[in-house]
Chains A and B, each alone.
Chain A
Amino acid sequence: MVNTFSFTKPLLETPFHKRTFEACYNNDWYRWAGYKIAREYSNTELEYTSMRNTAGVLDITPMHKYDIKGNDAIKFVDKLVTRDVTQIKPNKVMYIIWCNEDGNVIDDGTVFCFDTNHLRIFCAERNLNWFSDTAIGFDVEVNDVSDSIAALAFQGPLSCKILHLLNVKNIENLKPFFFDNFDLNGSKVTISRTGFSGDLGYEIWCRPEYALNVWDSLFKFNRDYKVLAAGMNALEMVRIEAGFIQPNADFMSAEQALRPNRMRTPFELGMGWLVDLNKNYFTGKKNLIDLQNKPLNKKLVGLDIQGDKPAIGSVLYDKNKKEIGIVTAGMWSPSLKSNIAFGYVDNNHMKIGSKVFAEIYHPEELEYKKIWAECLVVKKQFFNPPRRHKVPADI
């Protein structure tokens, strides 16, 4: 008898696994924080299209979730991050980044305010060690609650409509970057109007025992609206269009980079708008004050690239063929009908409208086609439809 190889161990299964396993026609799994997450269910383009036309469902349970409880909860987060969070109010979500003492970015995430003594941070990388050390001297307790909360991203122009059809009361009036508790088809859930797609969308958080009911509910109206389960490949496409960067893909987390010159400051990542140098002291402030007026050596910019061949991994050059940087993420954008990318450029090419060149190696039947493509430096946010911000949202 032949033993079949089992993927069950050591990767963990999320509370949605029964459903994701059935839906994952390709059996193509991605490892995320020890969990098994579908990379592609059946067809990345279809999954991407569902997020841009109807709605896509992504299992984001492996996201790291840290509960911050105690009298100094807000003070603690304010010391941790570069933005002023002292005015945060219950039900509000803020996008945050945090740096080390040199002012290099460690990670980004969102912070949810339940009340002034209870906040929760969601992020892609493990941060318990950093948070616990930041908590020294503060009256707070930091707990990793990652495994006790199941999470789905429900992203796309019809996401609000479908939640409305599921009798999620008043969901259309939930503003971007706010959250609340709702009843979803009999399950208690927390829904935030947040997401990684740059479109109208929600993230749904619930106890693991409600997971399957929540999943099934979102597909309830599929006779009329073709909601699809979307994998990590499709998420990669929407996040590039939305201009969202990822640690250890577009920049090395300062806690993980081995080479000091690979770390990046918020200014180099184009995230200067998230840095408030007038607020109370936070980790990295001293160095960021020194750096704020110094010229940057490198900057992560958006690129609009000639032709239709994705520039993934391409080296960037100036017009004299001098190497100036590298592309960190790239794709042909079906929505924008353009060839877009994020890449690092040097100080002479940071301005919007600058021209650089990408050397693209495009594989064509066992031979590389080398393409010398002109790139225009543009804003990183390529896709930003009005419906993303509209209140009340379209139902």
Chain B
Amino acid sequence: MRIFVKKNNVEFQTNKTVEKINISNQSVNSVLLNTGEQIETSTIISNSDPKTTYLELVGASNLDTDFTRRTNNYRTRGTVAKVNIEFKHEIKIKNLDSKYLSGKFVYAPNIKYIEHAFNTNKYNKLSANPCLEFYINKNKLSANVYFIPYLRESSHDKEKILTNVNLILEKFIEENQIVSSIIETPNDIESKYNITGGHWSHGDMEIDQLLMMRPFYGSSQYSTPINGLYLCSAGTHPGGGITGINGVNAAKQLLKDKGNG
């Protein structure tokens, strides 16, 4: 991608944060970077989550109340924590041929188990029996832990989450001596990656927040109420998962609006 864009005279600027999208007459005007630099533009495609884009970068003063109401009520409370574990020995799964280790492992024994794992999340509590989704690479394991709530007023007992995860892994992994483990709760993901609620899909993938209604009415199909501003994050259709489709569709919408589509 880098080579392709370079060929087309496109410049990437990294390690800079966008502080504000400046608007005049309901059209984008420029972006203000944390370096104080201002870049003038008539088109912006934002891959920040919709809440951050609208409430932090655009600002509520440029949007209708009905719209900020919908933005604010868009559900973005993360429910998944990320755990990376390094084992002393190369990972072997009991009773499984090593040629299958490159696949995805899912630990969710039955639908009732999943429901119980989610129930505690509804009351801002950890699940003692979480579901897991993990990949293995030699002695490293990378897991998504379902369900770990995004907490507003308290903090997580990370040790407890790791213990719960290990109790499950112990059942399957031979020689399970752990060298180190790293955990990122939804709150960590929020502060580290600037994603509201630390939601890895930039918003719940539920029926009222999908398809033509993703992220919400008035902002779907990559367009926004601000002229020249487009969304392409996981908060747009078809959601999270780093498929790249969001970006392609946003680009198509932009070309259509500019009359080149």
Contacts and interface: CB of A to CB of B under 8 A. Distances in A.
Q: Of residues A79, A136, A280, which shows the largest number of chain B Cβ atoms within 10 Å of its Cβ?
A: A136
Contact of A281 (B62, B66, B69, B72): B62
Given A133-B72, A137-B55, A286-B225, A79 B67 contact: no
Nearest to A76: B61
Contacts of A281: 23, 26, 61-63
Contacts of A253: none
Nearest to B63: A281
A31 B65 CA distance: 30
B197 to A, nearest CB: 15
A283 B64 contact: yes
Given A134-B68, A286-B26, A79 B225 contact: no
B60 interface: yes
Contact of B66 (A75, A79, A101, A137): A101
A283 B66 contact: yes
A138 interface: yes
Contact of A80 (B26, B55, B62, B65): B65
Contacts of B62: 281
Contacts of A136: 55, 60, 68-69, 71-72
Nearest to B23: A281
Given A133-B72, A286-B26, A280 B66 contact: no
Interface string B210-225: 0000000010000001
Contact of A100 (B26, B65, B71, B225): B65
Interface string A274-298: 0000001101111000000000000
Interface string B82-101: 00000000000000000000
Interface residues of A, number: 17
B174 to A, nearest CB: 53
B60 A138 contact: yes
Nearest to A132: B69
A137 B65 CA distance: 10
Nearest to B67: A101
Q: Is the interface of B mostly helix, strand, loop or mixed?
A: helix
A101 B216 CA distance: 15
A280 B62 CA distance: 8
B228 to A, nearest CB: 14
A130 to B, nearest CB: 7
A130 B26 CA distance: 22
Interface in A116-163: 130, 133-134, 136-138
Nearest to A130: B65
Given A136-B69, A136-B72, A286-B225, A100 B55 contact: no
Contacts of A100: 64-66
Nearest to B225: A286
Contacts of B23: 281
Interface string B51-79: 00001000111111111110110000000
A98 to B, nearest CB: 9
A137 B61 contact: yes
Contacts of B67: 101
A167 to B, nearest CB: 45
25 contacts: A79-B61, A79-B65, A80-B65, A100-B66, A101-B64, A101-B65, A101-B67, A130-B65, A133-B65, A133-B68, A133-B72, A134-B68, A136-B68, A136-B69, A137-B59, A137-B61, A138-B61, A281-B26, A281-B62, A283-B64, A283-B65, A284-B64, A285-B26, A286-B64, A286-B225
Interface of B: 23, 26, 55, 59-69, 71-72, 218, 225
Interface pairs A-B: 8 shortest CB-CB: A137-B60, A101-B64, A101-B66, A133-B69, A283-B65, A134-B65, A283-B64, A136-B68
Interface of A: 75, 79-80, 100-101, 130, 133-134, 136-138, 280-281, 283-286
Given A100-B66, A136-B69, A137-B61, 20 more contacts: A79-B60, A79-B65, A80-B65, A100-B64, A101-B64, A134-B65, A136-B55, A136-B68, A136-B72, A137-B60, A137-B68, A138-B60, A281-B26, A281-B62, A281-B63, A283-B65, A284-B64, A285-B26, A286-B26, A286-B64
